[in-house]
Amino acid sequence: MDVHRAGLTMAQWRQLIDEAYRGQVTEPITNIDDSRGSHFDAIFVGGGSAGRFGAAVLRSLGGRALVLERWPFLGGSCPHQACVPHHLFSEAAKELDQAQALAGRLWYGEFDPKAASILELVELFRSQRSGPHAHMNWQSAGQLDIEFVVNAEATVVDASTVHAAGRTFTAGALVLCTGARTAIPPVPGTSLAGVFDYASFIENLNYEPSRIVVIGGSKIAVEYASFYRATGTPTTIVSRGALLSTGGPGRMDDDLRRFVVDGMRLRDVGLLEHSTVTRITGEHRVEAVEVTTLDGPRRIEADFVLLATGEQPNVEPFIDALPVARDADGFVTVDSRMRTSIPHVYAAGDLLGPPLEMFKSRRSGTTAARNIMGTDSEFHYADIPDFLHTTYEVTWAGLSEREARAAFDDVVTIQVPPPELAPGETPLPMAEGSMIYGFTLPERTGFQKCVVDARSRRVVGVHHVGYGAKDAFQYLHYLISRPGGITVDELGDMNELYISPDYFIGYARLRSGQAELTSM
Ligand SMILES: Cc1cc2nc3c(=O)[nH]c(=O)nc-3n(C[C@H](O)[C@H](O)[C@H](O)COP(=O)(O)OP(=O)(O)OC[C@H]3O[C@@H](n4cnc5c(N)ncnc54)[C@H](O)[C@@H]3O)c2cc1C
């Protein structure tokens, strides 16, 4: 189906995507200016955030980009099965947390766990997700003037040739952007009905879970377990190590982690750390998960298991034709210009391995595009701001206190609540999203820490649990990681929009000018 210059409206795109996803439209949907032939400056194989953003920038720079995508829409896994449902669930988790904690108080009735349905929210998402999908296609075809084929699997032939939709396309450069999927652990029982990963959970859930086991110890495990538990469903996490303790970029401050994990315990999320799943059992459907814990073997009954066990790259569409260098986990290795080991072949996004984040996908795609168009451009993602959800928003940037103490002789911290106060002794920090907790359950308002190198007076790390501070962290990360950084005195000279969810400006002001900085 040729839609080039058809000027499809949002509603028409939405209908077409829905029909294609239901299998009623099976042919490729082509938005190509055939008058210009089949040769491009670059072909982006995979139309997720890496491919779509890369193509948009290549087009902005005057190049001709083609995106090839097997789903009937551009945007990839984020709006389809990953970030967008995750944010919907996390917002629900926050609301449900408050409804449970304040049941019978203020305007909250008694909490009815049957009223909050996991299945209902998944069905709501499934029924509405083609709205964002349609926007991506509409924007890409119209506003961004990107050429693309969707609803067609692509196969790479060589470093300049790709087959898709029964056609052969050539380009001066290829950008591999095929993403990643869950790495299924080698545990018996993972193919039983009732065992899901983040993608099949969205696609296939058709019953209301009543007892849940989540396998894994990092972001997805914590985020989904928090949501499931907030609906009132008994939920246990089984994690090989300590929860949220994976090293490398994205590591958490110890106090931040403690507040998060204690908060999950307080909310009755079952936590089995340093424990290994040996078997998932059941006749045809999952019935239980067998685990070796530090205290011996355990059997946890469950009718729903989520595998949040890390990811593996989707290399199948190109690896035979292009055996690019890869790391020990199979992820494609690139230099800081996103060049693979094969000339004129670039890679971007989740295909490059952790951290698996949108900003990295988008920026690695756009970095590849700039270099292809002859603009020298590098992207280093070792130092990242990061976040996750529990029933809170948890955000951090820069160094943890432990890392700062290893790097500098004299480190001070500004912490709310301060270490000398017990949980609940102060309602601070409280701001957007935590005001009601501040006046009812003050131990639930959140936690913040600012880490300062006292000698240079530079802020080197910021850490936050609460609500509404994520935007601030995007800019705080820029300020603390730019050359020269930002001192506690400069931070204290900024104008805060009081009451703001992160108290760093106000607290920095209380300390600015102090000759010998001390912790508070
Ligand atoms: C549950 C979950 C929650 C997340 N939440 C967040 C979040 O809140 N914030 C955040 O920053 N990140 C989040 N992420 C990470 C984020 O979703 C990814 O980093 C990002 O979507 C990766 O983009 P990508 O373009 O590399 O891959 P994808 O978006 O996966 O795109 C790859 C595309 O390639 C296509 N493709 C594959 N093979 C072929 C082929 N042969 N032919 C044609 N097309 C093909 C696929 O259909 C897909 O559309 C989350 C991830 C998960 C799993």
Cα distance between residue 492 and residue 482, in whole Å: 18
**Is the predicted pLDDT of residue 275 greater than 60, yes or no?**
yes
Q: Which residues pair with 299 in a beta bridge?
A: 290
Q: Could you tell which of 148, 181, 356, 364 is best to mutate to test the pocket of ligand 1, judged by most ligand atoms within 8 Å of the CB?
A: 356
Q: Give the whole-angstrom CA distance, residue 255 versus residue 251.
A: 12
Check if 86 has its Cβ closer than 6 Å to any atom of ligand 1.
Answer: yes
Pocket probe for ligand 1: among 52, 70, 77, the residue whose CB has the most ligand atoms within 8 Å is: 77
Give pLDDT tens digits for 100-145.
999 999 999 999 988 999 999 999 999 999 999 999 999 999 999 9
Any atom of ligand 1 within 6 Å of the Cβ of 372? no
Confirm or reject: Cβ of 50 under 6 Å from ligand 1.
Answer: yes
pLDDT digits (tens, 9 = 90+) for 476-507: 999 999 999 999 999 999 999 999 998 899 99
Query: Of 302, 310, 81, 80, nearest to 194 (Cα)?
Result: 302
- Burial of 55: CB neighbours in 10 Å, binned 0-12, 13-18, 19+: buried
State the pLDDT confidence band at 198, using cuts at 50, 70 and 90: very high
Q: Is the dihedral of CA 142, 145, 147, 150 positive or negative?
A: negative
Q: Which segments of 442-504 are extended strands (E)?
A: 447-453, 458-466
Please tell me if the CB atom of residue 313 comes closer than 6 angstroms to any atom of ligand 1.
no
Determine the residue of 226, 358, 366 to mutate for testing ligand 1's pocket, defined as the one with the most ligand atoms within 8 A of the Cβ atom.
Answer: 358
Instruction: Check residue 502 and give its pLDDT.
Output: 86
Residue 499 CB less than 6 A away from ligand 1: no
427 Cβ closer than 6 Å to some ligand 1 atom: no
Ligand 1, atom 2: closest residue by C-alpha: 82
For residue 439, pLDDT over 90 is answered with yes
pLDDT band at 382 (very low <50, low <70, confident <90, very high): confident
Residues 160-190 have pLDDT tens digits of: 999 999 999 999 999 999 999 999 999 999 9
pLDDT of 249 above 80: no
| Alpha carbon 82 to its chain's center | 7
Pocket test of ligand 1: the residue of 66, 68, 83, 129 to mutate, having most ligand atoms within 8 Å of its CB, is 83
Ligand 1 centroid, distance to 7 Cα (angstroms): 27
* 75 in contact with ligand 1, CB cutoff 6 A: no
Mean pLDDT of the chain: 96
238, pLDDT greater than 60: yes
Average pLDDT for residues 10-28, to the nearest whole number?
Answer: 97
Q: Is 85 in the pocket of ligand 1 (CB under 6 A)?
A: no
pLDDT one-digit tens code per residue, 135-159: 999 999 999 999 999 999 999 999 9
Counting atoms of ligand 1 from 1, which one is nearest the CA of 220?
1
Q: Whose CA is nearest to atom 12 of ligand 1?
A: 357
pLDDT for residue 247: 56
- 82 CA from centroid of ligand 1 (Å): 7
Is the pLDDT at 421 greater than 60? The verdict is yes
47 lines ligand 1 (CB under 6 A): yes
Angle at 233 between CA 227 and CA 234, to 5 degrees: 105
Helix, strand, coil % over all residues of the chain, rounded to 5: 30, 25, 45
Q: Name the closest-CA residue to atom 5, ligand 1.
A: 83
Q: Which atom of ligand 1 is nearest to the CA of 360?
A: 19
Residue 44 pLDDT greater than 70, yes or no:
yes
For ligand 1, the distance from its centroid to the CA atom of residue 350, given in whole angstroms, is 7
- pLDDT at position 248: 53
Tokens 């199948």 identify what position? 316
Q: Maximum CA pair distance of the chain?
A: 72
H-assigned helices in 167-282: 198-204, 219-230, 254-266
State if residue 162 touches ligand 1 by the CB under 6 angstroms criterion.
no
Asked if 262 and 170 count as a contact pair (C-beta separation under 8 A), the reply is: no
Task: Supply the pTM of this predicted model.
Answer: 0.96
DSSP E strands in 242-365: the ranges are 270-272, 276-281, 288-293, 296-301, 304-307, 311-313, 345-347
Which residue has a Cα nearest atom 26 of ligand 1?
349
- Quote the pLDDT of residue 384: 84
Burial class (CB in 10 A: 0-12, 13-18, 19+), 222: buried
Please name which of 277, 63, 312 lies closest in space to residue 186, comparing C-alpha atoms: 277
Whether 314 is in the pocket of ligand 1, judged by its Cβ within 6 Å, is: yes
Distance 100 CA to ligand 1 centre (A): 33
